């Protein structure tokens, strides 16, 4: 189905180009490759890793507090009055709810921080792509990868239409040196490296004791 939609999409581009009486020239780039090649990517990855570790530490402290109170409750429950026991159970249930809310909010906070850090990088890439398109008379420049959660729209493209290295040079970034495929490593224009997940896989989940029920 995706291939059919792709064919329809390319056909539509050709139709509009012909309708405008201009030669159709389509280039493509790999945004993952561009991001991974930029020096900012390492700084962003490091900053996100530090932020994630801070969130994990806060979560661990909250879980530690829960477990300590839970253990104390279990040891002394038999000696508690009904009123005291109910109060302790309420405290544990509230604390467990706070932990779940913190973890959910931490995940969202981490994603928002990543988006904030990536915004100027993506804007810089878009600006360079726009300039390359104008300078080289490209009608369209499409994406060949699934960067930032997007669906790739290029299933095949000739190497000479890959503008990725032109975009890097436009931004003042030296493209990685291609390695001979015969030595076991593919040329970046054919298989571009994927950047490591900036968020490190999200905030580390911690299993808390089963919530108490009244």
pLDDT at 120 over 90: yes
Q: Domain limits at 78? A: 24-183
Any idea what the Cα angle at residue 68 is, between residues 67 and 72, rounded to 5°? 115
CA distance 121 to 138: 22
Position 192 scores a pLDDT of 39
Confidence at 201, pLDDT banded by 50, 70, 90: low
Position 179 scores a pLDDT of 61
CA distance 54 to 169: 36
Position 147 scores a pLDDT of 57
Position 133 scores a pLDDT of 96
Residue 3, domain member (yes or no): no
Residue 9, domain member (yes or no): no
pLDDT at 175 over 60: yes
Residue 50, domain member (yes or no): yes
State pTM to two decimals: 0.68
Confidence at 167, pLDDT banded by 50, 70, 90: very high
Structural domains of the chain, count: 1
Position 150 scores a pLDDT of 61
Q: Angle 82-135/40-76 helices, nearest 10 degrees? A: 170
Residue 32, domain member (yes or no): yes
Instruction: Evaluate the CA torsion angle 81, 90, 93, 57 in order and state its sign.
Output: negative
pLDDT at 166 over 60: yes
CA distance 79 to 73: 10
- Do residues 138 and 17 make contact, with C-beta atoms less than 8 angstroms apart? no
Confidence at 17, pLDDT banded by 50, 70, 90: very low
Position 189 scores a pLDDT of 42
Residue 58, domain member (yes or no): yes
Residue 197, domain member (yes or no): no
Kindly report the CATH number assigned to the domain that includes residue 142: 3.30.910.20
pLDDT at 195 over 70: no
Position 97 scores a pLDDT of 97
Counting residues of the chain whose pLDDT is more than 70, the rounded percentage is: 69
φ, ψ for residue 26 (rounded to 5)? Answer: -115, 125
Closest CA to 203 of 63, 84, 49: 49
Residue 37, domain member (yes or no): yes
């Amino acid at each position: 189905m995706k291939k059919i939609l792709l064919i329809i999409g390319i056909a539509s581009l050709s139709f509009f180009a012909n309708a405008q009486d201009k030669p159709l020239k389509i280039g493509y780039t790999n945004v993952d490759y561009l991001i991974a090649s930029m020096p900012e990517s390492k700084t962003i990855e490091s900053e996100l890793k530090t932020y994630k570790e801070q969130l994990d530490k806060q979560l661990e402290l909250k879980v530690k507090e829960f477990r300590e109170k839970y253990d104390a409750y279990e040891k002394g429950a038999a000696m508690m009055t009904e009123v005291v026991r109910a109060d302790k159970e309420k405290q544990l249930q509230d604390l467990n709810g706070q932990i779940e809310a913190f973890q959910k909010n931490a995940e969202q906070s981490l994603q928002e921080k990543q988006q904030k850090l990536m915004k100027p990088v993506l804007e810089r890439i878009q600006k360079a792509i726009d300039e390359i398109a104008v300078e080289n008379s490209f009608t369209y420049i499409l994406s060949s990868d699934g960067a930032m959660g997007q669906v790739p729209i290029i299933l095949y493209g000739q190497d000479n239409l890959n503008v990725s290295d032109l975009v890097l040079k436009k931004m003042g970034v030296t493209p990685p040196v291609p390695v001979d495929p015969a030595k076991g490593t593919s040329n970046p224009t054919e298989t571009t490296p994927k950047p490591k997940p900036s968020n490190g896989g999200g905030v580390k989940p911690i299993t808390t004791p089963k919530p108490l029920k009244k």
